[in-house]
Amino acid sequence: MAREPREGGGRGGREREREHNDEFIDKLVTINRVAKVVKGGRRFAFAALVVVGDQKGRVGFGAGKAREVPEAIRKATERAKRGLIRVPMKEGRTLHHDSLGQYGAGSVILRAAPAGTGIIAGGPMRAVLETLGIGDVVAKSMGSRNPHNMIKATFDALQNCASPRSVAARRGKKVSDILGKREVVGEVAGGEVAGGELADVG
């Protein structure tokens, strides 16, 4: 399938944000015009990549293709909502630990950050982290710049994240055995988003 130049100009120009009544926010990461060569010429269609999240610890992504842009975005948004994952966050603002993610040639690293750092990330990774609702994180892409590979690698990193509570339950220990007592007090005071469990939400 032959590909035509991307629509929408620069990196920032392809990203837009929409808010829904069901409290989900979706961001259009990229949209490509693709062409299928047939006997009578070429048939053009649009391929959209969308990220959806509730800014409370749930996020998903989806791709859709259609003859018209709005229909491609609608398909991508529906697929993103069907593939939501829940990510545990420390104090409701950052990750519990650093995490590596890979998909194909895409490779990313996500690092927990102190309060006030903000989201230090670019392109598709920023869209994922903003819709997730994370407040402080440092992210770096070290592989492919293809938006699909970057987003899938970012989701791989997020799925590798675990809370001390889930690790303690898996090992049959107490949270205080995993963390120091001082850190446990901070965990209880700050609370945990997602109840400490990473689960797929269908």
* Any domain includes 35: yes
Tell me the per-residue pLDDT of 14-25, one tens digit each, with 9 for 90 and over: 445 555 546 889
Rounded to 5 degrees, φ, ψ at 166 are -70, -35
pLDDT per residue as tens digits for the range 106-163: 999 999 999 888 999 988 999 999 999 898 999 999 989 999 999 999 999 999 888 8
Lowest average pLDDT, out of 56-60, 95-99, 150-154, 167-171, goes to 167-171
Residues 191, 194, 198, CA angle at the centre, nearest 5°? 130
SS (H, E, C) 37-92: EECCEEEEEEEEEEEEECCCCEEEEEEEEECCHHHHHHHHHHHHHHCEEECCEECC
Quick one: 111 exposed, middle or buried, by C-beta within 10 A (0-12, 13-18, 19+)? Answer: middle
Q: Any idea what the CATH number is for the domain that residue 150 is in?
A: 3.30.230.10
User: What average pLDDT does range 43-70 have in this prediction?
Assistant: 93
Total-model pTM: 0.75
Q: Is residue 59 part of a domain?
A: yes
Domain that holds residue 156: 87-178
Instruction: Work out how many domains the chain is built from and give that number.
Output: 2
Within this chain, do residues 75 and 96 fall inside the same structural domain, yes or no?
no
